[in-house]
Amino acid sequence: MLSGKKILIGVSGSIAAYKSAYLVREFIRLGAEVKVVMTDAATSFIAPLTLGTLAKNPVSIDFVKDSKSGEWENHVELGLWADLFLIAPLSANSLSKMVSGNSDNLLIATYLSAKCPVWVAPAMDLDMFKHFSTGENLQKLKEKGVHVLEPREGELASGLEGKGRMEEPPEIARAVYEYFTPNSILKGKKVLITGGPTYEAIDPVRFIGNHSSGLTGVLLAEACAERGAEVVLVSGPGSHKTKHPYVTTYSITSANDMLEVVQDHWNKCDLGIFSAAVADYRPAEAADQKIKKKEDDMLIRLVKNPDILAWAGSQKKDDQYLVGFALETENEEEHARQKLERKNLDLLVLNSLNDSGAGFGHSTNKITLIRPNNNLTKFELKEKSEMAKDILNAIENDLK
Ligand code: CTP
């Protein structure tokens, strides 16, 4: 996430300053270190105590901290501290001061001495935004390398409708996150991942399932998010979960539940990685009440579950890339190749139960990647987190 990154948020006098609280929260949630510098005018819109508490750092407002001791706020240090200076909201007044260099407050003085990238999110009323001076000033900032997060169209605090609303905090945080993620072809891509087991109900308390823990799905989802992708993880009832802010998890139970979520998302996605251990069969009927023991033996009739990966393969468009998994015990490569073709995949991740340390219940795995042109890449036994990176590196390579 953004751990280790230092974000300085500048808050100027606009009603959108109330959104700065959400913005600070977003960056803290992403693991960044946050400091806030405010103009005097901004303190009329939002209390420094609110922003300071959320940022876990005192807010800087005045040049002089203590007039008796002469302790002052070092704007140069503040500017040097930051990896990114984000002024949000940026009022028309602060905008013009940024252009003219009028540093009569700490925020603008910090801007003038900042060495890091500077981003601004303007927020003002419709007519102020349309004024020629605003347009000219924004243009000058852009020419000087300041990144402008364009305001949105919509209802403004004045009641007017139009352009001037500050970009929403989650979108700003997402843009900053993408800025700091390594350069990957997965940046901004939508990825659908399945993971974990499925449980197929026999009655309200019993099910048919398997030992999958969901670790591989979670690690793949987190690795994609770390490369800037937006991830939907459809996860069975495994023990592993993710709290990554850019992974949206749908927790499902059965193969039919999983299919439903996959059908809702697949056509909007660029990449699918289907690592779930889906039960191939389910009881033909799940009893409404707990089944009581009676006879010495009991038969449960099973019916075939939908093949979710095969469905995605049958719907795959030219610009979509689909990855499947295969766990084999014999004739591994041959079976895997057949699966790749049958399910219309671009890449198949093969692991064999004959390799010790591979498969369910281990933190390690040993995989072979197979492509439609018969190209094979074999990897050593390694931690599943490293395996996830190997798989993504291979996908990136193919998408280039
Ligand atoms: N898969 C799926 N839906 C199913 C079954 C499997 O999406 N109903 C996916 C898995 O997530 C995995 C791949 O298909 O990516 C595994 O292929 P599969 O043919 O099911 O492998 P096995 O279960 O091992 O099947 P077989 O018994 O034919 O070897």
Q: Is 149 in the pocket of ligand 1 (CB under 6 A)?
A: no
How far is it, in rounded angstroms, from Cα 116 to Cα 174? 19
The region that residue 147 occupies, defined by phi over 0 for left and psi between -120 and 50 for alpha, beta otherwise, is: beta
Measured CA to CA, the distance from residue 349 to residue 351 in angstroms comes to: 7
C-alpha of residue 306 to centroid of ligand 1, in Å: 10
Probe target for ligand 1 pocket from 308, 327, 360, with the most ligand atoms within 8 Å of CB: 308
pLDDT in tens, 186-238: 999 999 999 999 999 999 999 999 999 999 999 999 999 999 999 999 999 98
pLDDT at 73: 80
Over residues 72-88, mean pLDDT = 90
pLDDT of amino acid 120:
98
Protein residue with its CA nearest to atom 18 in ligand 1: 326
Ligand 1 pocket check for 210: Cβ under 6 Å: no
What angle in degrees, to the nearest 10, is found between the helix axes of 106-113 and 92-100?
40
- Of 143, 149, 205, give the one whose Cα is nearest residue 174: 149
- Does 155 have pLDDT greater than 90? no
Residue 158's pLDDT is what? 81
> For residues 84 and 73, is the Cβ–Cβ distance under 8 A?
no
Domain extents in the chain: 6-180, 190-287+297-399
DSSP 60: B
Residue 206 pairs in a beta bridge with 203
| Token representation of residue 103 | 């540093």
Tell me, using a 6 A CB cutoff, whether residue 20 lines ligand 1. Answer: no
For residue 311, give the ligand 1 atom closest to its CA: 7
The finding on whether 327 has its CB within 6 A of some atom of ligand 1 is yes
Pick the atom of ligand 1 nearest to 305's CA. Answer: 8
324 lines ligand 1 (CB under 6 A): yes
pLDDT grade for 359, boundaries at 50, 70 and 90:
low
Calculate how far, in angstroms, residue 200's C-alpha sits from the geometric centre of ligand 1: 15
Where does the pLDDT of residue 355 fall: very low under 50, low under 70, confident under 90, or very high at 90 and above?
confident
Distance in Å, CA 88 to ligand 1 centroid = 48
Per-residue pLDDT at 340 exceeds 70: yes
Contact 352, 329 (CB under 8 A): yes
Task: Name the region of 364 (left: φ>0; alpha: ψ -120 to 50; beta: rest).
Answer: beta
**DSSP secondary structure letters along 150-175:** PPEEEE-TTS-EEEEEPPPHHHHHHH
pTM of the model: 0.86
Tell me: the pLDDT tens digits for 91-108? 999 999 999 999 999 999
Report the chain's mean pLDDT, rounded to a whole number.
94
Residue 66: which residues within 8 A CB-CB, separation 6 or more? none
CATH topology (fold) of 190-287+297-399: Rossmann fold (3.40.50)
297: helix, strand or coil: coil
Task: With cut-offs at 50, 70 and 90, classify the pLDDT of residue 180.
Answer: very high
Alpha-carbon span 89 to 166, nearest angstrom = 7
In sequence order, the 6+-apart residues with CB closer than 8 A to the CB of 53 are: none
Q: pLDDT tens across 1-57, in order?
A: 899 999 999 999 999 999 999 999 999 999 999 999 999 999 999 999 999 999 999
Q: How far is CA 225 from the centre of its chain?
A: 5
Q: For residue range 284-306, what is the model confidence (pLDDT) as tens digits?
A: 999 999 999 999 999 999 999 99
Catalytic residues, which ones? Answer: 210
Reported as a single tens digit per residue, the pLDDT across 245-281 is 999 999 999 999 999 999 999 999 999 999 999 999 9
- Whether the upstream peptide bond of residue 372 has omega within 30° of 0, thus cis, is no
| Ligand 1 centroid distance, CA of 45 (Å) | 56
Are the C-beta atoms of residues 217 and 194 closer than 8 Å to each other?
A: yes
Beta strands 247-251 and 200-203 are unpaired
- Amino acid at position 170, single letter: P
Q: Outline where DSSP puts E strands in 198-246.
A: 200-203, 206-208, 230-235
**Is residue 92 lining ligand 1, measured as CB closer than 6 Å?**
no
Q: Please, where are the H alpha helices in 73-168?
A: 75-81, 92-100, 106-113, 126-130, 132-143
Rounded to an integer, what distance in angstroms lies between the CA atom of residue 400 and that of residue 393?
A: 11
**Residue 379 confidence (pLDDT) above 70:** yes
Residue with tokens 């300085």: 8
Tokens, residue 62: 């005045």
* Most informative mutation of 235, 274, 316 for ligand 1 (most atoms within 8 A of CB): 274
What are the residues whose beta carbons fall under 8 Å from the beta carbon of 74, sequence distance 6 or more? none
How big is the CA angle at 133 (ends 86 and 123), to the nearest 5 degrees? 35
Q: How confident is the model at residue 164 (pLDDT cuts 50, 70, 90)?
A: confident
Q: Is the CB of 351 under 6 A from ligand 1?
A: no
54 C-alpha to center of ligand 1: Å?
46
C-beta 78 within 6 A of ligand 1: no
Q: Which two tokens stand for residue 198?
A: 């499925």
Answer whether 178's CB lies under 8 Å from 187's CB. Answer: yes
Residue 349 burial (CB count, 10 A): 26
Helix (H) or strand (E) holding 122: strand 118-122
Q: Is 278 in the pocket of ligand 1 (CB under 6 A)?
A: yes
Superfamily of domain 6-180: Flavin prenyltransferase-like (3.40.50.1950)
| pLDDT tens string 131-142 | 999 999 999 999
% of the chain exceeding 70 in pLDDT: 99
Distance 387 CA to ligand 1 centre (A): 20
The pLDDT confidence band at residue 352, using thresholds 50, 70 and 90, is confident
6-180 and 190-287+297-399 share one CATH topology?
Answer: yes
